[in-house]
Structure 1
Amino acid sequence: MINSEMSLQNLINRVHEEAMIPQNVYAKTLRPLLPAEAFAPDSSKLVILLINLIILILGWTIASGLDRWPVYLLWLYLPFAIIMGNSVIVLLFSSHDLMHGSAIRNVRAMRIISLLGLTLLWMPPTLWKAVHNREHHNKTNSLKDPDRNYLYQQPKTWGKWIQNLFVPSSEVNPFWLTVGMTSAWGVHTFRNLTSVLLFNNESVDYVQAAFTVNSKERRAIAGEFLIILMLHLSILAYLEFNPIKLVLSYFLPIGIGYAGIIFYVYTNHMLSRMTSVNDPLINSLSIRVPKIFDLLHLNFSYHTEHHIFPGINSDYYPLVQELLKIHYSDRFNLLDAGEAWRLMLQTPRHYKDENTFTDWDGEKDITFPLGRSISE
């Protein structure tokens, strides 16, 4: 009986895998249809990163005098805080592209520039390279992906509890969803940072899928984090730890930036099923946003396209999308941003199995709203 059940499960697993198309197959099919310049480094993207660093520095320079502004005029700083918040978003997305090699290929320059770009995200570049480039991209939405939803079967740790409290779902409290929009990125960074620095063991249970780094990477992560900490303290000291200056020019822009980032992050994969084979058209989602946001945010809404060609110039994501519509229209997941958000608020956020979402208590089972089930 046990052997029969094992044989049936092996058959089911094989059917599931056969329904998937690996990322490299899409890449090999579409690569000849794209121009060579799409894969050439575009150093102009460094200018974008630099401009947004300057915007933040200018914002803090203006804020240094906020204690001399009449209280009734402080609201005039709010538009600049919003612009600074957008710069936080752009710094992550431009650093993200930089570390995929789409801007420059010089490793040392890449590390220095990305350190500046990721400072307000509290993300050491070496950690980002490990958690995002190495783990997430190679194991997208699999059991080994540290960026996936938690499994219902995983222990109810503080990490799982906070994510359940913060992420959009059919159970989320609007207040905690709002809090989560401004702080979930920080929780994500804290979980992975403490996991590798304090334990560096795959048995760590408060992250979705713990991973390890080698000793050289671990030392680099610790050193980069100390530099990031000193840079933040320098900003706070420059603002004289003044509550008004800190709220308007530090906490508010960072909160706005994190909210914008996490909106994209939530829709990237959290509505998608788990896959044992890394199939970007099944485990990823692209969204439609107003063109101004694609312009400002380096086409980050084209996320499935990015997972097929991680190192491509982001200017060419729309062309990749057109090719996907032609060659894989029956598999490609593309939704308006508002529709994706609505679906997230109508579904639970824990994986029960590869085809089913469930809630914290395992009482509500919902089949994935995107595309076909794996067994189809």
Structure 2
Amino acid sequence: MNSAKMLISLDETGEGETLTHQSVYVKKLRPLLPSDAFEPDPSKLAILLINIGILLLGWGIADNLDRWPVYLLWLYLPLAAIMGNSIIVLLFSSHDLMHGSVQKKSPLTYPIAFLGLSMLLMPPTQWKSLHNLVHHNNTNSLADPDRNYLYQQTDTWGKWIQNLFVPSVEVNPLWLIVGMAGSWAVHNFRNLSSVLLFNDKSVDYVPAAFTVSPKDRLKIALECLGILGIHLGVLFYLEFNPIKVALAYILPIAIGHAGAMFYIYTNHMGCRMTSINDPLINSASLRVPKIIDLLHFNFSHHTEHHIFPSINSNYYPRVQELLQIHYPDRMNLIDAGQAWRLLMETPRHYQDQVTFTDSSGTMAVNCSIVEEFKNG
């Protein structure tokens, strides 16, 4: 069945809400922002390189872990956590770099993005197509590969793994822990295999298949080999020593991927679907401690990012202020803890554009439940 026919329309649900296209918000808010907000911020490039340095330093120290007494190995754990945060920072700084908010077009953009995304196992050419073009232009719609699965979609291996891993009222806590560390890799593999093996929109084990040009398909394949080479290089440097690999490779990557997935889960998966790209409805922004925003380039301001993808992220708080002035109580702005609780208390499939249901189709929860959490 065509996926477009799987959903009943907003009008048919009786719960339709007037949607506003992203371009309308841009037209309204762009004149209210300073021109500096749209100038590249090269300081984030320096931060990206510093965090690559942190990983190199961590691996350098780990090279001697086999000489440490067993009872002192715990002293490496804080460094592993810092390395995990560096992987998150590399994702977000590379994200800004690929959106053009870090530097103007430069031959260095591609190789730096390649290094920045390598620990995330993400080929930059795939990122540009999947994230910049497809996700941003079709956010939380039928065509968005990053959305929840529809209940009506075929029960494929991709859907089964998502049922097993993602936060929901059904998830087993042990599988959730595994999923926090492993879902990023699953998401990557799902989309990579779809593009490299089939490159066809009929692929059914992804929420929404996308295609790339033959040239980009070849680039993605070559980038995968390069990323594999980097990871093998790290493992060879660590001599495949179990202690070194566990503490300096697996643990930092698990922490980094879990941190990234927390944001990714809460960005859109608790929101309703939209046929018109309305970031105030299909995206969510989080309230987090200021130190987190400082470390992660204000990535919690995700609605703001979807309105102005290429703006300097330092100005996201100003965009939020303008949204609250001109569109009061419309955006999904909630505490990070509340956003997580929302995901854990609701099922994770779309029965239709405004209703969540569980894997058996027996539950029905209105997606507007997010309204109860915004000020709760």
TM class, shorter-chain normalised?
over 0.9
Counterpart position of 2:344: 345
Query: Are positions 1:45 and 2:44 aligned together?
Result: yes
| TM-fit CA distance, 1:14 | 12
CA deviation string 1:305-356 (max 9, x = no partner): 0000000000000000000000111311100001111111110000000110
Counterpart position of 2:275: 276
Q: Unmatched 5+ residue regions in structure 1?
A: 1-5
- Tell me whether 53-62 or 322-331 shows the greater mean CA deviation: 322-331
Q: Unmatched 5+ residue regions in structure 2?
A: none
Equivalent position SS for 2:365:
strand
Q: Which amino acid aligns with 1:156?
A: D
| TM-fit CA distance, 1:17 | 8.2
Counterpart position of 1:252: 251
Name the CA shift for 1:13/1:135 in 2 (closer, same or farther; >3 Å).
farther
Counterpart position of 1:35: 34
Q: How does 1:71-150 map to 2 (within 5 A)?
A: 71-150=70-149
Counterpart position of 2:24: 25
Q: Which amino acid aligns with 2:193?
A: T
Q: How does 1:118-267 map to 2 (within 5 A)?
A: 118-267=117-266
User: How many angstroms apart in 2 are the aligned matches of 1:307 and 1:146?
Assistant: 16
Equivalent position SS for 1:370:
helix
Partners of 1:17 and 1:276 within 8 A in 2: no
Counterpart position of 1:370: 370
Q: Which amino acid aligns with 2:171?
A: V
Name the CA shift for 1:14/1:309 in 2 (closer, same or farther; >3 Å).
farther
Counterpart position of 1:360: 359
Counterpart position of 2:309: 310
User: How many angstroms apart in 2 are the aligned matches of 1:11 and 1:332?
Assistant: 19
Name the CA shift for 1:16/1:220 in 2 (closer, same or farther; >3 Å).
farther
Partners of 1:331 and 1:371 within 8 A in 2: no
CA deviation string 1:246-286 (max 9, x = no partner): 00000000000011000000000000000000000000000
CA-based RMSD: 1.7
Partners of 2:88 and 2:296 within 8 A in 1: yes
Q: Which amino acid aligns with 2:124?
A: P
Equivalent position SS for 1:188:
helix
User: How many angstroms apart in 1 are the aligned matches of 2:59 and 2:10?
Assistant: 60
CA deviation string 1:33-73 (max 9, x = no partner): 00000000111110010000000000000000100111111
Q: Which amino acid aligns with 1:370?
A: V
Equivalent position SS for 2:107:
helix
Partners of 1:284 and 1:333 within 8 A in 2: yes
Equivalent position SS for 1:334:
strand
Q: Which amino acid aligns with 2:192?
A: L
Q: Which amino acid aligns with 2:298?
A: N
Q: Could you tell me the TM-score, scaled by structure 1's length?
A: 0.95
Q: How many residues align?
A: 365
Name the CA shift for 1:27/1:11 in 2 (closer, same or farther; >3 Å).
closer
User: How many angstroms apart in 1 are the aligned matches of 2:106 and 2:347?
Assistant: 41
User: How many angstroms apart in 1 are the aligned matches of 2:357 and 2:315?
Assistant: 37
User: How many angstroms apart in 1 are the aligned matches of 2:288 and 2:115?
Assistant: 28
Name the CA shift for 1:275/1:13 in 2 (closer, same or farther; >3 Å).
farther
Tell me the percent identity: 67
